[in-house]
A and B are shown apart, each in its own frame.
Chain A
Amino acid sequence: MPFFTISKTILRSLFGRPATLMYPAVPREYVEGSRGHIEIAVESCSFCSLCQRKCPTEALSVDRETKIWKIDRLRCIACNFCAEACPKKCLSMATGYSPAVTSPGETEEHHA
């Protein structure tokens, strides 16, 4: 019948569970391997600045002298290119978003 063709779908969703999450009461579970944000184990970093040179969006800056590793979270596109290039394997991709920042250009600093 060409009428009410959607009624089967409607009935299913009427008696089934909701397709959406009651966020933020029910937190979203990230799948393993989801690209959320870059994390650094700064104690094993050698400050070679390879990640800074590889970063396509220039979100990273590394200071060899003062041993500070900085990331601009708003510029980072979570592409994992730095983690692949890192010779010490101290960079890694974690799931979940990074916390919000208060102004553009604000960087997150990690000291060795």
Chain B
Amino acid sequence: MRTIIPFGPQHPVLPEPIHLDLVVEDETVVDVIPSIGFIHRGLEKLVEKKDFQEFVYVAERICGICSFIHGMTYCHGVEQLMKIEVPPRAHYLRTVWSELSRIHSHLLWLGLIADAFGFESLFMHSWRLREKVLDIIEATTGGRVIFGSCKIGGVRRDIENGTLREIAAKLRDYAVEYKDLGNVFLNDLTVKRRLCGVGVLSGPDALGLGSVGPMLRASGVAQDMRLLKYAAYGGIDFAPVTAEEGDSYARCAVRIGEIFQSVEIIRQCSEKIPGGAIEIKVTGLPEGEFYARTEQPRGEVIYYIKANGTKNLERLRVRTPTFANIPPMLKIMTGCQLADVPVLVLTIDPCISCTER
């Protein structure tokens, strides 16, 4: 007999509201019908009212976790339209802040997934480590999650070379603790029982359904927008972290791998960062259209920007990673056990504020 169980928008495992109708046969989920739109704020429409330089603040507030990369992608798009050459030092600082936000986002996710499979102390320890990264962010930008340090034409604040090396050294010390934490996620028997073989997404399915980010990389597809060499990624030596299995465990392993990768990228930035200005004066108005693609902690974000030579943009479209990851999420949930639903919703790292803008 088929029963429909409503899941969300308010559910203990969900940090943000999404509603799923689970069609259940005994304990097996046979179909999932999603509905979104609980926190739509109309930020894309707001672009017609706000000055294009002010809109950086709005873009940053699309999401509370990957806020810096939203702001940076918007700035990157407008800079390309206006043909602004951003100073190389600003590019490196943007890279450092992007990677700091990736570390804190992945640590947040590790906490949430630990909470989803019922390991409370692991959740607390993940967030304890995240707090230290937030302290670094606050000391360098002035904000904990809304950085506010990116602007069109560069960045607002500089980090001195010495401070940057100190940050890299601090993160190297924290990496020891990340290793202990990662060891629990990757080797503990109880954790493995909840993650291994749950929600398997094959490589062709992941590509076909348009999944992005760690979801796609965990299925063996090495796609990473940082390879497009925006900001300073062209001068950084790194390779995308991938896994083959495509299950929840692989997605967890990819995200843990990316924390260490980000620590390494920040170390490289602290050594390679050039001197010079951190911003240039912006004159003129944007005109034309541009697709900006960058890699967020959750995957690829696309900003479509259309400008008509006035101080307000004509159209802005944001395709966020969670939006792209919802169809693959429905695919992995079909046929799963009801008790695995919270873990599977969390493995895509859902950011509903991003999705609904």
Q: Measuring CB to CB, which residues of chain A are less than 8 angstroms from any residue of chain B? A: 2-3, 5-6, 8-10, 13, 19, 31-35, 54, 56, 77-81, 84, 93
Contact = CB atoms under 8 A, between A and B. Distances in A.
A34 to B, nearest CB: 5
B148 A80 contact: yes
Given A2-B192, A5-B187, A56-B54, 6 more contacts: A2-B189, A9-B177, A19-B128, A19-B131, A35-B142, A80-B148
Interface string B245-258: 00000000000000
A33 B157 contact: yes
Contacts of A32: 139
Given A2-B189, A5-B184, A6-B121, A31 B138 contact: yes
B139 A31 contact: yes
Interface in B100-130: 121-122, 125, 128
Contacts of B330: none
B11 interface: no
B156 interface: yes
Interface residues of B, number: 27
B50 interface: yes
A2 B181 contact: no
Instruction: Give the interface SS of chain B, mostly helix, strand, loop or mixed.
Output: helix
B188 A56 contact: no
7 contacts: A2-B187, A3-B189, A5-B187, A6-B122, A9-B125, A10-B121, A34-B139
A105 B128 CA distance: 36
B183 interface: yes
A33 B148 CA distance: 12
B148 A35 contact: yes
Contacts of B128: 19
Contact of B142 (A2, A3, A54, A80): A80
B58 interface: yes
B143 A35 contact: yes
Contacts of A80: 142, 148, 156
Contact of B57 (A2, A10, A81): A81
B139 A2 contact: no
Interface string B143-178: 100101000000011000000000000000000010
A28 B323 CA distance: 38
Contacts of A54: 54
Contacts of B54: 54, 56, 81
B180 interface: yes
A34 B138 contact: yes
Contacts of B138: 31, 34
A79 B188 contact: no
Contacts of A10: 121
A6 B121 CA distance: 9
Given A6-B122, A35-B142, A77 B57 contact: yes
